[in-house]
Amino acid sequence: MRRAIYPGTFDPITYGHIDIVKRSLALFDEVWIAVAKRREKETLFLHRERVLLTRQALVGHRRVKVVGFDSLLVTFAHRIKACAAIRGLRAVSDFDYELQMSLTNRQLRPPLETIFLAASERFIFVSSTLVKEIARLGGDVTPFVPSGIARALGKKFSK
């Protein structure tokens, strides 16, 4: 079984993330989406909310598992026996950071490879930050996120 891990904050998950997941399923038998609990990064949604929303967005994808994690990526990847980490790239500027992380992870746990997938042209401009800003200002986010995520964003910003 070839298992990959797709780590991220997913605050919230977008159609761009979901596209990366679907394309990863063509390369791996199973993809684990690992929702990071990031203490240094303030998120709109609590960790448990991000895990739940991500699960809801990917319901029906039987080869996808959504889990939360709060450790080094390489430690978690080793624990679940993942052979690769999936990372999406939207711009050249993403590559600098992602390459640094990939090389660091390889030093920490050599068997873990990183697979970079370029964002689809349809979603290359979509980011969780952009989606949150549109929602905060009362705009329609349904072109960028599933309806359950759009509703959750609406509730967060109507308070």
Catalytic residues: 17, 41, 90, 128
In 3D, which of 112, 73, 114, 116 has the Cα closest to residue 92?
Answer: 116
Nearest by Cα to 66 from 7, 19, 117: 7
User: What DSSP line would sit under 98-140, residue for residue?
Assistant: HHHHHHHHHHHSTT-EEEEEEPPGGGTT--HHHHHHHHHTT--
